[in-house]
Structure 1
Amino acid sequence: MLHLTSRFVFCALLASVYASCPPRCECSEAAQTVKCVSKDLRSIPTGIPGYTRNLFITGNQISRIGPESFRGLDNVTNLSLSNNRISEMEFHTFSGLLRLRSLDLSNNQLTIIHPEAFSNISQSLRELNLSRALYNYSSVMDLAASLQRISMANLQVLDLSDNSLIYLPSHTFSRMYSLRRLQLSNNSLVAIRSLALSGLESLEELDLTLNALKTFTDEGLQELDSLPRASLLLGKNPFTCTCGIEPFAQWLNRSQDRVRDAEGLLCAFPPSMRNTSILTVGMLTLECQQRDVGADLALQTSYVFLGIVLGFIGLIFLLVLYLNRKGIKKRVYDMRDACREVWEGYHYRFEIDSDPRLSQVSTSADA
């Protein structure tokens, strides 16, 4: 009887420990889910059950996360930490989440990202959401350094939208060999630089809508062409339809099967071209070339005319000097003689002032 009682107590204690739930959180063993939503938490709560596969800690006041935050949570596959005001991710922050497949860090204020923050989950992770999560330029560079340092060979979805990105550092995605979807919408990208999209041969979708792209340079078009399998979204950018837009317009006409919103791409500037389809701008190529040739010819003509005028003025000046050579020579001699007299007088006076005896003689003579 005593043996049965002890076994019962042990099982009860074990069950209570296994089914424990952190304060201010909701736990469901059946769904293997724990939710700590908008509970004003200041740190990741302890005592999260080991059965947890889906962990939602959102809408709190957590400023930093580190390697101690997720210890003992080997079964977690989906982790949402959105809208927590997280500003710092430390070394090996997710080291205890060896099975993590989806990580949502959106709507935070990341300013410090350790280069090794994602290292322990780099092989298991499939989706990473950093939308509206990067607070400043230093966090962008920290993230780029982290992504360049570790190999996220199995990552398939990366969301970097709404981060005010101005440009993409080279080789940022070069170690994401399996990435299929890259979200860069609603940033401030002004250009796509060389090697900014290197390593994304498996990419199937690239979203560049709602940025500050006025056109695409040759290197930007080459970067887009380096993504042979990707469908592209380029809408709602302030395209400037001046003569520099023709290479992009020609490329767009050739790549309509890849650009899903090609027919909706419109000129924003100048006002005379506003709402004109960029697909039709290619017809301006000949006019721009003619205008450029005419401008170059006019500029060359003006330079030649200016050279002739300056040469003529120089000849006149030399002729005037030649005709007045005797007068000029006399003036030069007169100036030389005048300077010599002044110098001799100054030299004589200096000798008198420097010799006390001569000074006395000169004084007596004056008396």
Structure 2
Amino acid sequence: MLALTRRLLLCALFRSVYAACPPSCECSEAAQTVKCVSKDLRAVPAGIPGYTRTLFITGNQISRIGPESFKGLDNVGILSLSNNRISEVDSHTFAGLSRLRSLDLSNNQLAVIHPDAFAVLNKSLRELNLSRALYNHTSVMDLATSLCQSSLGKLQVLDLSDNSLVYLPPRVFSHMGGLRRLQLSNNSLVALHNSTLSGLESLEELDLTLNALKTVPEEGLRELDSLPGSALLLGENPFMCTCGIESFAAWLNGSQDRVRDAESLSCAFPASLRNTSILSVGSLTLGCYQKDARAELALQTSYVFLGIVLGFIGLIFLFVLYLNRKGIKKRVYDMRDACREVWEGYHYRFEADSDPRLSQVSTSAEL
């Protein structure tokens, strides 16, 4: 009886420790959820119950996270750390979360991301949200290194929207063969090149809306064609419908089954074609090339004609010189004799001025 009582006390004590909840958090054992929301926390609170499968730590003042932040939380599958002003993610920060499937780091200020920051045991991570999370260009390069070195081969959803990205490093997604949805909307991307989308054989959706694409040249079209099984979103880009848009317009007309918003894509420039569907500008821009060809031919003809005229004038000039060769020769000789006389007079005067005796003779001669 005494032994049974001890066991019951030990179980009750263990249960009380196991179910303890940090004072700044709200815990639900039934839902296996812990919420630490807008509590002005400076670090991940200690004492989070081990039963936790869903952990929300949002709206706080946490500047750094590391592997010590999540010790003893092996059961966490969903982790939200959004809007915490996190600026640094240490190496192997999430390595101890062996069951982690969804990680939300959106609305932070990530400036330093260590190469092994997203290394997760058993490659369990499926969703990674980095929307409005990158602080500067350096963090973009750090992220590219981390994505290439971390074990994210089974990642299915990656959100990089709202990060003011101007370009993407080459082969940044090459180690994410399992990625199905890639969110790149509301950035400042101006082009797709350098094998940006290499390695995304399983991609099902690519969102490029609200970027700075003025056109998609041949290299960019090859990038998009390397994703034959993915649906594409290209709306709300400032497409410039001038010479050079023809290949994109032709590609778009042949890819309407893949580009979900193809019918809504329209010209932003020039003003005369604003809001004109890109699907219908092919014939207009083809005329642009014909006009340019005629102008180039006319310019080449003008250069040829100008060369002929200048050559003819040169021949006439040489012919006139030949006809007047004797007169020109006589004039040259006359100029030479005149210059010689002037030079001899100048030389004689110089000698007279330099010799005192000659100067006296010349003076007495004048008297």
TM-score normalized by structure 2? 0.87
Q: Which residue of 2 aligns with 1:76?
A: 76
Deviation at 1:326, TM superposition (A): 5.7
Cα distance in 2 between the residues matched to 1:339 and 1:32 = 115
Deviation track 1:199-221 (CA, whole Å, cap 9, x = no partner) reads 11111111111111111100111
Change (3 A) 1:321 1:230: same
Deviation at 1:29, TM superposition (A): 1.0
Cα distance in 1 between the residues matched to 2:227 and 2:334 = 82
8 Å contact 1:153–1:178 — kept in the other structure?
yes
Deviation at 1:47, TM superposition (A): 1.0
SS for the counterpart of 1:119 is coil
Deviation track 1:269-293 (CA, whole Å, cap 9, x = no partner) reads 1111011111111122441231121
**Residue identity opposite 1:287 in structure 2:** G
Deviation at 1:95, TM superposition (A): 1.6
Cα distance in 1 between the residues matched to 2:7 and 2:320 = 124
Deviation at 1:299, TM superposition (A): 2.0
Change (3 A) 1:77 1:303: same
SS for the counterpart of 2:245 is helix
SS for the counterpart of 1:235 is coil
8 Å contact 1:194–1:220 — kept in the other structure?
no
Q: Which residue of 1 aligns with 2:33?
A: 33
Deviation at 1:184, TM superposition (A): 0.6
Deviation at 1:71, TM superposition (A): 1.4
Asked if residue 160 in structure 1 is aligned to residue 157 in structure 2, the reply is no
8 Å contact 1:58–1:82 — kept in the other structure?
yes
Cα distance in 2 between the residues matched to 1:45 and 1:337 = 110
Q: Which residue of 2 aligns with 1:357?
A: none
**Residue identity opposite 1:30 in structure 2:** A
- Cα RMSD after superposing both structures: 3.0
Q: Which residue of 2 aligns with 1:14?
A: 14
TM alignment of 1:71-220, pairs within 5 A: 71-121=71-121, 123-220=123-220
Deviation at 1:145, TM superposition (A): 1.4
SS for the counterpart of 1:186 is coil
Change (3 A) 1:95 1:340: farther
Deviation at 1:321, TM superposition (A): 7.0
Matched residue count: 354
Change (3 A) 1:296 1:18: same
Cα distance in 1 between the residues matched to 2:93 and 2:166 = 28
Deviation at 1:302, TM superposition (A): 2.8
Cα distance in 2 between the residues matched to 1:57 and 1:164 = 25
Cα distance in 2 between the residues matched to 1:340 and 1:37 = 108
Deviates more, 1:288-297 or 1:272-281: 288-297
**Residue identity opposite 1:115 in structure 2:** P
8 Å contact 2:212–2:237 — kept in the other structure?
yes
SS for the counterpart of 1:82 is coil
Asked if residue 235 in structure 1 is aligned to residue 232 in structure 2, the reply is no
Structure 1 stretches of 5 or more lacking a match? Answer: 349-361
TM alignment of 1:227-306, pairs within 5 A: 227-306=227-306
**Residue identity opposite 2:140 in structure 1:** V
**Residue identity opposite 1:247 in structure 2:** S
TM-score normalized by structure 1? 0.87
Change (3 A) 1:311 1:95: same
**Residue identity opposite 2:204 in structure 1:** E
8 Å contact 1:77–1:99 — kept in the other structure?
yes
Cα distance in 2 between the residues matched to 1:337 and 1:18 = 123
Deviates more, 1:314-323 or 1:90-99: 314-323
8 Å contact 1:101–1:125 — kept in the other structure?
yes
Cα distance in 2 between the residues matched to 1:333 and 1:158 = 93
Deviates more, 1:130-139 or 1:14-23: 14-23
Structure 2 stretches of 5 or more lacking a match? Answer: 360-367
SS for the counterpart of 2:279 is helix
Cα distance in 2 between the residues matched to 1:27 and 1:331 = 113
Asked if residue 64 in structure 1 is aligned to residue 34 in structure 2, the reply is no
Deviation at 1:90, TM superposition (A): 1.1
Cα distance in 1 between the residues matched to 2:64 and 2:345 = 88
8 Å contact 1:122–1:152 — kept in the other structure?
no
Q: Which residue of 2 aligns with 1:46?
A: 46
Cα distance in 2 between the residues matched to 1:193 and 1:139 = 20
Q: Which residue of 1 aligns with 2:362?
A: none
Change (3 A) 1:304 1:52: same
Deviation at 1:309, TM superposition (A): 4.7
Cα distance in 2 between the residues matched to 1:135 and 1:341 = 87
Cα distance in 2 between the residues matched to 1:97 and 1:243 = 53
Deviation at 1:167, TM superposition (A): 1.2
Change (3 A) 1:329 1:274: farther
